[in-house]
Structure formats: C-alpha cells, structure tokens
C-alpha cells in the first residue's frame, strides 16, 4: 500500500491538522479482490474435500458392512460344517455303539454262558476264558472310541452331564490320577456347537494330563458368573513350557485348543512351567447364559 501524508505541526511539534492522505485505494481494492478470490477458492476446496470425506465415509461404511456379511457367512459356514460333522460323528458313533458294541456284548454273554455250561459238565474250556476277557477289553475300547467320536450324551443331556460321566469313567479306569469335577453351572449353553467345542477342549486337556503330566491330582471346574463362564483344568504334575511346546509341529492338541478357543471368542490362559503343574483357564464372556 502506498501512503503519502502531510501533517501541519505546531511550534511544539504537535500535529495540528492532517493535510493529505494519498491512499492508493486501487491497490487496496485489488488486494481485497485477490483475498476474496483466495477465500472463495479455499471455500470451494474445503467443500470438495468435505464431499470427498463424506464419500470415503460411506465407502468405509459399505466396506464394514461387507466385512460384517463375510463374518456372518463365515460363522454360518462354520456352524453348518460343525452340524454336518456332528451328524456324521453321531451316525458313526451310533453304528459303533448300537451295532458293533451291542453285537460284541451279546457274543460275550453267549461265550460266558458256553464257558459256564462246559464247566458244569466238567468239559475243558480251553482258552475261552481268555477270549472272554479279551472281548471285555475290546468292548471297553469300542466304548472309548465311541466316546471320542461323539459324546452321545451331549445332544441329549448337555456337556456338563457328559463331562461328569467322563470324569467318573476316568476315575474308574485310570487310577494314577485322581480327577475331581466342580461346577455351579446348572443351565446349558444354548449352542450345541459351543458345548461340543468346550467338551473337546476339556477332553484334550484331560488327555494331556493322562499322557504327559504324571499328576497325582487333577481338577476340572466350570463356574458361571452373571453372563460369563470360566473353565479351569488344572493338575499338580510336571508342567511344561507352553509357548515352546505350542511351536512344535507335532503338537496338534494345544493348537486345536487355541483355535477352538478363538472360534468361541473366548480367552485362553495357560499357566504352566516345568515342575510346577499346569493350570489352563478359558474365559467365555458376554454369553447369553
Ligand atoms: N498337562 C500337561 N502336563 C505336562 N506337559 C504337558 C501338558 N499338556 C501338554 N504338555 C506338553 O505339551 C506338549 C504339546 O501338547 P499337545 O497336546 O499339543 O501335543 P501332544 O499331546 O504331544 O500330541 P497330540 O497332538 O496328540 O495332542 C506335549 O507333548 C507335552 O510335552
Ligand atoms: Mg495332546
């Protein structure tokens, strides 16, 4: 801005009158126009950016919806796979239990009867008693395999009942570790797949206790609190280094426990170290229990 001014001053040097201010108004107007133009351009730019942000927001929303749909489809797919898998397992378990298992049981009774009749007539029973004993073992094996394929009781009585009978069976057949079972959970989880997953997780933990822990005592606890469920499987055995063992390619069991826990949206905590026993916690939160 060009500014020219003349001031009429008193003898004392005080300004008495401003004679002229030559203001280059044109320059000011021009700058004002420029500034207005810049503001308008910036406003337009801002509007364009805001539109872009809105567009991006709606694209993000659409992408989130697609992700939700995919998750839902994945969940449905898993549920269907589980359902089909369970159906197949049930069929197989039924064939084993009701077919082969029952046939073996009848054969065993018939054999027992034959042995008794031969003995009553003082006729040698040769090795029939051993065959009878072997058959008894085979029947137990078939029963165990059936249990592994599907705990038949789960669909009928729920997983708590199945776990209780599993623990009873264990204490009956496996005397080196004393198993205890505690629960304050009297209801059942609404989803049969969740029940089966929890059952499988506990089954793997128990198998590991039997196979690896050398524990004298082991306990399974299922405690419910409001809408959460805490599952604990612990033993006083030799313990192990969880993160190290998890990396071992041959260890399928722990990896399955981890992936089942993830599928259940649950938290897994393995508290174990060599010589100090093992405590495995699975926490299911916010369930409609
Ligand atoms: N309760 C336990 N006490 C002591 N060691 C354990 C226990 N559970 C697991 N382990 C150790 O962790 C390893 C990995 O267990 P994991 O269940 O993954 O495999 P595995 O039992 O050896 O074989 P599988 O794949 O048939 O389950 C075991 O080999 C064992 O050394
Ligand atoms: Mg295992």
180 pLDDT more than 70: yes
Q: 161 CA to middle of ligand 2, Å?
A: 23
- Averaged pLDDT for residues 100-117: 87
130 pLDDT more than 60: yes
pTM: 0.57
Give the pLDDT of residue 24. Answer: 63
- Averaged pLDDT for residues 5-12: 62
- Averaged pLDDT for residues 52-71: 95
Give the pLDDT of residue 150. Answer: 63
* 189 confidence band (pLDDT: 50, 70, 90): confident
Helix orientation angle between 102-120 and 128-149, rounded to the nearest 10 degrees: 160
21 pLDDT more than 60: no
- Averaged pLDDT for residues 36-63: 96
Give the pLDDT of residue 35. Answer: 94
Give the pLDDT of residue 22. Answer: 52
H/E stretch holding 109: helix 102-120
- Averaged pLDDT for residues 49-69: 96
- What are the φ/ψ torsions at residue 250 (nearest 5 degrees)? -75, -15
Rounded Cα–Cα distance for residues 230 and 266 (Å): 10
- Averaged pLDDT for residues 203-211: 89
The residue whose CB lies within 8 Å of the most ligand 1 atoms, and thus the one to mutate among 148, 203, 206, 211, is: 211
Task: Using DSSP bridges, classify how beta strands 3-9 and 15-23 pair: parallel, antiparallel or unpaired.
Answer: antiparallel
**Whole-number percent of the chain with pLDDT over 90:** 44
List the shell of residues around ion ligand 2, using CB closer than 5 Å: 208, 253
Rounded Cα–Cα distance for residues 109 and 114 (Å): 9
- Averaged pLDDT for residues 56-67: 96
End-to-end CA distance of the chain: 79
- Residue 22 bridge partners (DSSP): 4
Q: Give, using CA atoms, the residue closest to atom 14 of ligand 1.
A: 251
- Averaged pLDDT for residues 217-241: 94
Which ligand does the CA of 256 lie closest to? Answer: 1
Give the pLDDT of residue 194. Answer: 83
Rounded Cα–Cα distance for residues 211 and 287 (Å): 33
131 pLDDT more than 70: yes
* 70 confidence band (pLDDT: 50, 70, 90): very high
Query: For the chain, what is the mean pLDDT?
Result: 85
Between 17-21, 83-87, 99-103, 158-162, the lowest mean confidence (pLDDT) is in 17-21
Give the pLDDT of residue 287. Answer: 62
Cβ-contact 106, 60 below 8 angstroms: no
The first and second tokens of residue 218, run together, are 């082991």
What is the SS3 assignment for 268?
A: strand
Which domains can be identified in the chain, with CATH numbers? 158-289 (3.30.565.10)
CB atoms closer than 10 angstroms to residue 218: 24
- Averaged pLDDT for residues 231-253: 92
Supply the DSSP string of 172-222, one letter for each residue. Answer: HH-TTSEEEEEE---S--S-HHHHHHHHHHHHHHHHHIIIII--SEEEEEE
Between 13-22, 52-61, 101-110, the lowest mean confidence (pLDDT) is in 13-22
The residue whose CB lies within 8 Å of the most ligand 1 atoms, and thus the one to mutate among 254, 271, 273, is: 254
Digit-coded pLDDT (tens) for 151-176: 656 767 788 888 998 899 888 877 78
Digit-coded pLDDT (tens) for 270-283: 999 888 899 999 99
Cβ-contact 144, 153 below 8 angstroms: no
Q: 21 CA to middle of ligand 2, Å?
A: 97
Rounded Cα–Cα distance for residues 194 and 154 (Å): 11
User: Cα 228–210–235 angle (5° rounding)?
Assistant: 50
């Amino acid at each position: 801005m060009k500014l020219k001014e003349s001031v009429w001053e008193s003898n004392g040097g005080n300004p008495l009158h401003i004679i002229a201010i030559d203001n280059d108004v044109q320059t000011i107007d021009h700058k004002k126009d420029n500034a207005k133009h810049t503001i308008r351009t910036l406003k337009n730019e801002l509007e364009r950016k805001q539109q872009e942000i809105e567009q991006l927001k709606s694209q993000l929303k659409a992408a989130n919806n697609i992700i939700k749909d995919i998750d839902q489809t994945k969940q449905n797919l898993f549920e269907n796979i589980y359902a089909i898998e369970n159906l197949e397992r049930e069929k197989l378990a039924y064939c084993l239990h009701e077919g082969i298992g029952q046939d073996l049981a009848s054969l065993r009774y018939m054999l027992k009867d034959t042995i008794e009749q031969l003995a009553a007539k003082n006729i040698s029973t040769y090795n029939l008693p051993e065959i009878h004993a072997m058959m008894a073992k085979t029947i137990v094996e078939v029963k165990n395999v059936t249990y592994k394929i599907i705990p038949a009781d789960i669909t009928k009585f729920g997983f708590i009942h199945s776990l209780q009978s599993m623990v009873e069976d264990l204490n009956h057949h496996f005397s080196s570790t004393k198993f205890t079972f505690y629960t304050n959970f009297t209801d059942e989880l609404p989803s049969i797949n969740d029940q089966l997953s929890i059952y499988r997780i506990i089954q793997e933990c128990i198998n590991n206790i039997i196979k690896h822990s050398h524990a004298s005592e082991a306990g399974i606890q299922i405690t419910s609190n409001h809408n959460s469920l805490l599952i604990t499987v612990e033993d006083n055995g030799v313990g192990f280094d969880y993160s190290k063992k998890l990396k071992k390619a041959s260890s399928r069991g722990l990896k399955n426990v981890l992936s089942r826990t993830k599928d259940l949206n649950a938290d897994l905590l393995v508290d174990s170290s060599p010589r100090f026993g093992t405590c495995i916690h699975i926490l299911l939160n916010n369930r409609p229990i």
